[in-house]
């Protein structure tokens, strides 16, 4: 093997090129994994594992709570509307409100 085949794209000696391809692939995966979590939607976009985890946690928490809030607001509004019309759903929640409305033919 000539030494020129051990040079990377930037022309510097890269000894990892002397490794078998499957070992190189594994190494690349490990390097990637040390920064980003498995399942990160943008692998390599984060500077550290912690940053990756924080980004994921934040977006998950914000996304979930916004969705739950919107759902809760809609359920509450439907419940209030049903009460205003003189109905008494068993509980707050779309399925209860809708069951009550159906029962009275509203
Ligand atoms: Zn990441």
The answer, yes or no, to whether residue 98 has pLDDT greater than 80, is yes
State residue 38's pLDDT score.
79
C-alpha angle 23/36/55, rounded to 5°?
175
Look at the pTM and tell me if it is higher than 0.75. no
User: Could you tell me the distance, in angstroms and rounded to a whole number, from the CA of residue 35 to the centre of ligand 1?
Assistant: 7
Residues with CB under 5 A from ligand 1 (ion): 36, 40, 46, 52
24-39 pLDDT, tens per residue? Answer: 776 666 665 567 877 8
- Under 8 Å between Cβ of 89 and 97: yes
pLDDT in the model for residue 71: 79
Nearest CA-CA partner of 28 in 2, 19, 50, 13: 19
Q: Token pair for residue 57?
A: 């946690």
**The pLDDT of residue 84 is above 90:** yes
Residue 88 CA to ligand 1 center (angstroms) comes to 48
């Amino acid at each position: 093997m000539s030494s020129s085949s051990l040079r990377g794209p930037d022309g510097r000696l890269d000894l990892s090129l002397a490794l078998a391809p499957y070992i190189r692939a594994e190494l690349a995966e490990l390097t990637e994994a040390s920064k980003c979590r498995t399942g990160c939607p943008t692998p390599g976009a984060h500077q550290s594992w912690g940053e990756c985890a924080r980004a994921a946690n934040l977006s998950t928490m914000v996304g979930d709570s916004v969705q739950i809030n919107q759902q809760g607001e809609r359920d509450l509004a439907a419940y209030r509307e049903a009460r205003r019309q003189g109905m008494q759903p068993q509980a707050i929640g779309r399925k209860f409100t809708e069951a009550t409305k159906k029962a009275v033919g509203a």
